[in-house]
Amino acid sequence: MSELNATHNAKLRSWVASANALGTDFPIQNLPYGRFRAAGSADRFRIGVAIGDQVLDLKACGLIDTDDMNALMDAPGDQRQALRKALSEGLREGSPQQEAWAKALSPQSSTELTVPCCIGDYTDFYTSVHHATTVGKQFRPDNPLLPNYKWVPIGYHGRASSIIVSGQPFTRPQGQTKAPDADVPCLGPSRRLDYELELGWFIGRGNAQGQPIGIADAEQHLFGVSLFNDWSARDIQGWEYQPLGPFLSKNFASTVSPWMVTTEALAPFRVPFERPAGDPQPLPYLDSSANRALGAFSITLEVLLQSAQMRAAGEAPVRLSMVNAAQAAYWTPAQLIAHHTVNGCNLQPGDLLGSGTLSGPEAGQAGSLMELSAGGKQPIVLPNGEKRTFLEDGDTLILRGWCEAEGAVRIGLGTAFGTVLP
């Protein structure tokens, strides 16, 4: 596990003034990675680090010699630590690199950002027991949580090609649906379009096929985290998911935030992983003293909605829910990696593991509209009087995330947002 060091010092300040602003997502203690180029250009995407409202070109300032983010992610842990140390020292107030590195800075507002790495494979998990129970009650009132849930990190393989970067709109999907009172299904646009509040955990170093990753080594293969929204067509899902699971209801679009916050940056925000009293403890391959002690991550997550009508009237987005990932997740990232590879599956740099919808036990902590509106039975009333059971055309859905802890500087994950097109 990543340990605290001088790069986490709460007293550090940067010569990039915006990195010292109260509430910024990207202070010098964060230093997340992404890929950028000048807005409107056809240049090759380069590797950058967010610092305040700027992005630092790592190749231009001489820290790396590649534009391949996946190659950087594949670097051993000591090399990653050394790069973070060099970045921290070069961006601090009084650094001798200031004059040279200032030429490698670009305002984020003048850049185009893309998905933070080349995502080869994508697996979506189902780590929130509260989400699984609430949704299960809608389909199986007498047996909401299936018996394997507390033993197996449930997941399915998604489609990486349709993962898009924050800000990119997407078209409402169509597919087969079947109304309860209909004799036959029909083809048409989804009427129960939903979001899913998730975290996306990125793999750094991979493993050879046939060589499982033990839980004690799992975090050596974990690079970092982004916000993730696995858009879901609930009506298509309800008709197609038996017996093999999600297909067209999930693979039309998933939105990821452009910055990967590294596990090194998350070190001050680790918390114990605890199972509720009376629940079974994980099997040995999913259990370790280190995972129990500090295997979870305290990340506050927020969901906001802005309708087309609100946007036209200049009204700000409204919060739908807020939850802490540590409270919501039943499995840790290390457990997901250990389980994913226990059969010999080979992970590769840039692979993405979605957490699944993260919901807490309270009504205002739900990570989807299907939960918030009780499957469409209890419409949500927005401040301007509009009602929502599921997403309408023109709606913009925004995810935000940040970490706070006593004695540490707040860091953020940025935002992940998308707008529904007709």
* Active-site residue flag, 339: no
Within a domain: 391: yes
Considering only residues 244 and 39, tell me which one the structure prediction assigns the higher pLDDT.
39
Shared-domain flag, residues 175 and 47? no
Instruction: Give the range of the structural domain holding residue 99, as residue numbers without chain letter.
Output: 6-113
Q: Are residues 263 and 400 in the same domain?
A: yes
Tokens describing residue 219: 């975090």
Mean pLDDT of the 115-131 span: 96
Please say if the pLDDT value at position 142 is more than 90.
Answer: no
The domain that contains 96 carries what CATH number? 2.30.30.230
Q: Is 281 inside a domain boundary? A: yes
Give mean pLDDT, residues 104-127: 97
Beta-bridge partners for 233: 193
Q: What is the pLDDT of residue 251?
A: 96
Strands 163-165 and 254-256: what pairing? parallel
pLDDT in tens, 148-172: 999 999 999 999 999 999 999 999 9
pLDDT at 139 over 80: no
Strands 222-229 and 197-203, bridge-based pairing: antiparallel
Asked if residue 128 and residue 71 are part of one domain, the reply reads no
Are 75 and 134 in a shared domain? no
pLDDT of 1 higher than 90: no
Least confidently predicted of 12-16, 139-143, 386-390: 139-143
Q: In this predicted structure, what is the pLDDT of residue 166?
A: 98
> 222 with 310, same domain?
yes
Confidence of residue 268 (pLDDT cuts 50, 70, 90): very high
pLDDT at 159: 96
Q: Same domain, yes or no, for 84 and 145?
A: no
- Please report whether residue 256 resides in a domain: yes
Report how many domains make up the chain: 2
pLDDT, position 146: 87
Classify residue 380: in a domain, yes or no: yes
Determine contact, residues 258/414, Cβ cutoff 8 Å.
Answer: yes
Instruction: Say if residue 85 is in the same domain as residue 182.
Output: no
The span from the CA of 310 to the CA of 395, in Å, is: 9
Residues facing residue 318 across a β-bridge: 305
Residue 239 is assigned to a structural domain of this protein: yes
Query: Does one domain contain both 80 and 161?
Result: no
The pLDDT assigned to 131 comes to 94
Q: Reply yes or no: is the peptide bond before residue 243 cis, omega within 30 of 0.
A: yes
Does the residue 367 lie in any domain? yes
Claim to verify: residue 166 and residue 223 sit in the same structural domain: yes
Q: What is the pLDDT of residue 141?
A: 82
Instruction: Considering the candidates 131, 221, 339, 340, report the single residue annotated as catalytic.
Output: 131
Domain boundary among 55, 81, 113: 113
- Specify the pairing of strand 222-229 against strand 261-262: antiparallel
Q: Which of 113, 142, 157 is the last residue of a domain?
A: 113
Q: What phi-psi label fits residue 390: left (phi over 0), alpha (psi between -120 and 50 degrees) or beta?
A: beta
Q: What is the pLDDT of residue 42?
A: 96
Q: Please say which residue of 60, 85, 113 terminates a domain.
A: 113
pLDDT (0 to 100) of residue 2: 77
Non-local CB neighbours of 260 within 8 Å, separated by 6+ positions: 32, 33, 34, 116, 117, 202, 223, 224, 225, 226
**What are the phi and psi torsion angles at 365 (to 5°)?**
-115, 15
pLDDT given at position 136: 84
Q: How many CB atoms lie within 10 A of CB 5?
A: 13
Instruction: Return the pLDDT at 363.
Output: 87
169 within a domain of the structure (yes/no): yes
Residues 148 and 88 in one domain: no
Dihedrals φ, ψ of 62, to 5°?
A: 85, 15
Position 77 pLDDT exceeds 90: yes
Nearest residue to 1 via CA among 189, 266, 282: 266
| pLDDT classification of 340: cutoffs 50, 70, 90 | very high
145 CB-near residues (< 8 Å, 6+ apart): 129, 132, 133, 136
CA-to-CA distance for 37 and 48, rounded, in angstroms? Answer: 9
Q: What pLDDT score does 298 carry? A: 98
**Same domain, yes or no: 20 and 128:** no
Give the amino acid at 72: L
Residues 65 and 176 occupy one common structural domain: no
Average pLDDT, the chain: 96
pLDDT of residue 138: 81
Q: Which two tokens stand for residue 237?
A: 């899902």
In-domain check, residue 1: no
CATH code where residue 341 lies = 3.90.850.10
Q: In the prediction, which pLDDT does 330 show? A: 96
